[in-house]
Amino acid sequence: MMDFNQFKQQFAQLALLQADPNIYVAPQIPMNKILGAMSYLPAQTQAEEVLVLVDETVFGQGKNGLCLTDQGIYFKEAFASANAYPLKSISSVGYSMGLLSKHLVINGTVKVSLAQPEKAGIRLLADFLNQYCAFAKAQTQKNSSDFIHENQQQTQSQDTIANLQPIMKLYAYLLLGWRGEWSQSTRSLMTQLFDRDLVHPNDQQFLKQMMQHNHPFDFFDILDEITLIQHSLPPSLCLALLEEVLVLMNKRNFDAETARSHFFQISTAFNVEQQTAFAILAKYPAYTDIQAQQHTKASSIPIHQLTPVQLAACELLDITPEQLDRPSLTLAYRRKMADFHPDQYQQLPPAVRQLIEQQAQQINQARSCLEALLASF
């Protein structure tokens, strides 16, 4: 925080940036907005680590928007999955303005839609973020050990990879089930599985602490955590982890249907192409049968065969026709409803609740439409 305060005082237009009612700079960030933003920030993030917050919600809850921490830029647009960009991967932050649109632009290609701040506020925010990313990199390089660590993380074969904790939780869930009750044998196996050079010492310590206490696991919460870190995982590692997932499910005698469902939802979280996932699954005869082969054939739905209504349903659920299968549809639906379920808004006026319920109804209708499509193939 000291480095950030030092930088902040050097930003000549800080007062103008803070004048925008939807842009907050630490330490003047309301706690209720930080709590809302925790829904798309990494699980280990502390409130004091949020340096900048942009609130995109209509009712000021902070569940959609953008946050800056000393680790990266995190953002979540309405009806979309959360995204994260580590500071070390950001070369530039700019902006683009259309007649009806306003965007931050990361690395010249990634557009972050921001509707609430004023255009002047977005220009200042882009300048602030661009300068801070450069400032943070310069500060990091002053410490030679940190600099070495950054270079080590970029080497795939021998490097440590920060924050493998969601993977540890996933493996624990597959070994223990949702109850999370440890035994000596499962502790020993988990220790062996993560006795690797790529595991960061902080994650090794997390694993030791996790194995000391029984703790229930939620499969879908784990998938959400994996989605947030998948950009930092080398593709080759994701493929290797998927194979290990199948081995662990076989060890716990998962039935074929449950194993396939879990496998494809995990592969979606890893952002592995469906064709590649099927190729991995094919190596394990216990989980491949005639039904699975039919599923493979059915899941490849040509986009030209979709009606405009079906395409609109895919867009609403943020899923492409190429990705469309039952596990992916279930995961996409659950993510949408988690952000937009009417039960979360019972304290709002009836008219507002009615609008939210209508949106939730549209999400349900989109799922029903795509379920009928899958059933027809």
The predicted pLDDT at position 287 comes to 72
263: Cβ–Cβ under 8 A, 6 or more apart, which residues? 242, 245, 246, 249, 277, 281, 287
Q: Binning pLDDT at 50, 70 and 90, where does residue 2 land?
A: very low
Residue among 237, 28, 265 nearest 153 (CA): 237
CATH code linked to domain 2-142 = 2.30.29
Mean pLDDT within 151-174: 72
179-220 pLDDT, tens digit each: 778 988 889 889 988 888 788 889 999 999 999 988 888 888
As assigned by CATH, the class of the 303-376 domain is mainly alpha
Which pTM was predicted?
A: 0.42
> Starting from the edge strand earliest in sequence, which strands make up the sheet with 102-106, in order?
93-97, 102-106, 110-113
Q: Has residue 297 got a pLDDT over 50?
A: no
Pick the residue with more confidence: 99 or 302?
99
- Residues 124-160 have pLDDT tens digits of 999 999 999 888 877 766 653 444 444 444 444 345 6
Residue ranges of the chain assigned to CATH 1.10.287: 303-376
Q: Output 99 or 364, whichever has higher pLDDT.
A: 364
pLDDT value for 19: 94
DSSP-assigned beta bridge partners for residue 102: 97
